[in-house]
Amino acid sequence: MGAFAVMHARRHAVPKGRLAERSALEHLIEREPTGANYTLLGNMNAELKDYESARHDYLLASVVYTSKGLTAEGYVAKRLAQRYETQAIPFIHEPTAEKPQEGLAKYEPAYGCYTGAFIDHEDSIRGTYRDEYGEWRRDASAFNHFTNTHHAIFFMYLGYGRSFPAAFVRHMNDNGAAAQIALEPAHLSDVRDDAYLHRLAYDARASKTPIFLRFASEMNGDWTPYHGDPELYKEKFRLVARVMHEEAPNVAMVWCPFETPTRLIPDYYPGPESVDWAGINIYSVPYWDNSAKHPASWRNPADQLRYVYGLYATKHPIMICEYAASHRSSLDGALRSEFAQTKMSELYAALPRLYPRVKAVCWLSMNAIKHAVPGRQLNDYSLLGDEGARKRYERLLRDPYFLSKVPRQGHASAPQEALALKDGAIIDRPTSLSAWVKTYDDAPRVTWLVNGEVRVDSTLPGPHRWVLDPKTTVSGPTKIELVVQDAEGRKVADVTRNVTIN
The model's pLDDT over 247-303, given as tens digits with 9 standing for 90+, comes to 999 999 999 999 999 999 999 999 999 999 999 999 999 999 889 999 999 999 999
283 and 197 inside one domain: yes
Residue 359 located in a structural domain: yes
Q: Is 468 helix (H, G, I), strand (E, B) or coil?
A: strand
Q: What is the DSSP letter of 97?
A: P
State the average pLDDT for the chain. Answer: 94
Residue 221 located in a structural domain: yes
CATH number of the domain bearing residue 460: 2.60.40.10
Residue 95 located in a structural domain: no
Q: What is the DSSP letter of 209?
A: S
457 and 358 inside one domain: no
Per-residue pLDDT of the chain (502 residues; tens, 9 = 90+): 343 443 444 444 455 678 888 999 999 999 999 999 999 999 999 999 999 999 999 999 999 999 999 988 999 999 999 999 999 999 999 999 988 888 999 999 999 999 999 999 999 999 899 999 999 999 999 999 999 999 999 999 999 999 999 999 999 999 999 999 999 999 999 999 999 999 999 999 999 999 999 999 999 999 999 999 999 999 999 999 999 999 999 999 999 999 999 999 999 999 999 999 999 999 999 999 889 999 999 999 999 999 999 999 999 999 999 999 999 999 999 999 999 999 999 999 999 999 999 999 999 999 999 999 888 899 999 999 999 999 999 999 999 999 999 999 999 999 999 999 999 999 999 999 999 999 999 899 999 999 999 999 999 999 999 999 999 999 999 999 999 999 999 999 999 999 999 9
Residue 59 located in a structural domain: yes
378 neighbors 329 (Cβ within 8 angstroms): yes
145 and 22 inside one domain: no
Q: Which residues of 340-375 are buried (b: 16+ CB within 10 A; e: fewer)?
A: bbbbbbbbbbbbbbbbbbbbbbbbbbbbbbebbeee
Number of domains in the chain: 3
pTM, whole model, 2 decimals? 0.94
Residue 114 located in a structural domain: yes
Bridge-based pairing state of the strands 113-118 and 358-364: parallel
Q: Which of 352, 378, 403 is the last residue of a domain?
A: 403
292 and 163 inside one domain: yes
CATH number of the domain bearing residue 186: 3.20.20.80
236 and 161 inside one domain: yes
279 and 329 inside one domain: yes
Residue 487 located in a structural domain: yes
pLDDT tens digits, one per residue of 53-93: 999 999 999 999 999 999 889 999 999 999 999 999 999 99
What domain range includes position 20?
A: 3-85
